[in-house]
Amino acid sequence: MEQYDLTSDAIHFGVAALLGALVGIEREKHRRERRAKTEQSAGLRTFILLALFGACTAWLARAFDSYWIVVAGLLITGAFVVAGYVVTTRGQQQSLGLTTEIAAIVVFVLGAIVMLGGAEIAVALAVVTTAVLAYKNPMHGFVKQLGWDDVYSGLQLLIATFIALPLLPDKPIDPWGAINPYELWLLVVLISGLSLVGYALTRWLGPGKGALLTGLAGGLVASTAVTVSFARGARTNPTQTMAFASGILVAWAVMFVRVLVVVAVVNRVLLGPIFIPFAAMALVAAAVAALIYVRRHADGPEVRAKEDLQVSNPFSVTSAAKFAAFFAVVLVAVKIAQDNFSDSGVYAVAAIAGLTDVDAITLSMAELAKTGDANVAVIAIVIAALVNTAVKCGIAFVIGGAKLGKPLLLTLAAMLGAGLAGVLWL
């Protein structure tokens, strides 16, 4: 055997051992913290040996050109795992989980993958495996936060993505050539997915978190909902008005970042021109929020505002259909304005759409910018975002009062200046 092969194999055996050690350390810590003599005994050394055993079977399989050796090794590992579980659980009053046993089998397979030339994917899977094992309590806590409605909504999103989407026609169906059902529904799924991520973060954070964290997670779901909720909180708890103001501004900043993410997914070419104005507006909102937070934190602890934020699961078939219908109307309106009026007609449509939603005009302009003027698309999205933010500022004024509304209005003015400066930079 050549020296290069020996060195390569030695490296692979070393990587396999390290992967086993990575998982084994977590299992060893878990076992020691539980301090239960009757629990599974597999720890650091066991997992290192299992990874090396997997690497050895793969080495032999490659040497003898028979991958049944790996299968035999896997069966042997499974037999020992089952036997160990039976011995461990014998006489126990309550059943024990199979987490350690399954992890042992996974480590054997990862060791074999390393030796068969897949070291990169094996390392990634080992990190994921260790994370799944280590974050047991947060994951279980997140599941406890979920209701059946959340599970049903997640399933509906999967159905909408992997069953309904492939069945839709991938061509325009309207006289203006603006509505492609496949692309329209794909973009609806994109927006729903982003909102679902924010909703999951909101539920995972749980009650009792500060206004900044709440605004950060809630802004992904609906910055308007954060604004309404925090404005109500400022009205009932005026001593914490500035804390609520900082949370609202964080939610606004997240909305601007969310627009950039949507544009990056839909039309990456447009991301360059739109980045400067939206990054500027997001930075203004975030900077003012940080300033308010620092000044507020110097006076006392931040309000625990999570109980006041009520957000519902953002995805259902009905809500997705409503957004798709609104999105289709915006697409047609923008297309008609683009074909029959000057750029001011497109801007008027953007302003009207921004009164209720930013996502629809963002998606439509990102799509139309593929064949149209990118600068017009950027200005239209900026107009929609500022109009939508102005509406939320008005809501905060009406519900939360002038004490809450004034800093938000001043921030809106600064964001307007930053947005216009970013547009003029183009």
In tens, the pLDDT along 397-411 reads 999 889 999 999 999
Q: Which residues contact 74 (CB under 8 A, 6 or more apart)?
A: 57, 105, 108, 109
Q: Which residues contact 84 (CB under 8 A, 6 or more apart)?
A: 40, 41, 42, 101
In tens, the pLDDT along 265-280 reads 889 889 988 999 999 9
Q: What is the pLDDT of residue 205?
A: 61
Question: Is the pLDDT higher at 154 or at 391?
Answer: 391
pLDDT higher than 90, residue 214: no
Q: What is the pLDDT of residue 210?
A: 62
What is the phi/psi pair of residue 304, to 5°?
Answer: -95, 100
Binned at pLDDT 50, 70 and 90, residue 34 comes out as: low
pLDDT higher than 90, residue 55: yes
Per the structure block, which two tokens stand in for 237? 């708890």
pLDDT higher than 50, residue 4: no
Q: What is the pLDDT of residue 425?
A: 78
- Residue-averaged pLDDT of the chain: 82
Average pLDDT of the residues in 133-142: 79
pLDDT higher than 90, residue 111: yes
In tens, the pLDDT along 71-107 reads 998 899 888 888 877 776 665 655 566 778 888 899 9
Distance CA 229, CA 236 (A): 11
Q: What is the pLDDT of residue 300?
A: 54
Neighbours of 325 (CB within 10 A): 12
pLDDT higher than 80, residue 388: yes
Average pLDDT of the residues in 325-341: 82
In tens, the pLDDT along 276-325 reads 999 999 999 999 998 988 876 655 554 444 444 455 555 667 777 888 88
Q: What is the pLDDT of residue 85?
A: 73
Binned at pLDDT 50, 70 and 90, residue 327 comes out as: confident
Q: What is the pLDDT of residue 341?
A: 76
Q: What is the pLDDT of residue 174?
A: 77
Q: What is the DSSP string of 166-228?
A: HHS-SS--STTS---HHHHHHHHHHHHHHHHHHHHHHHHH-TT-BHHHHHHHHHHHHHHHHHH
Q: What is the pLDDT of residue 41?
A: 59
Average pLDDT of the residues in 168-191: 82
Q: What is the DSSP string of 106-159?
A: HHHHHHHHHHTT-HHHHHHHHHHHHHHHHTHHHHHHHHHH--HHHHHHHHHHHH
Four-residue CA torsion sign, 346, 351, 355, 360: positive
Per the structure block, which two tokens stand in for 247? 């949370």
> Position of tokens 């390393």?
114
Closest to 73 (Cα-Cα) out of 52, 100, 44, 88 = 52
Q: Where are the domains of the chain?
A: 3-134, 141-425
Neighbours of 425 (CB within 10 A): 10
User: pTM for this one?
Assistant: 0.68
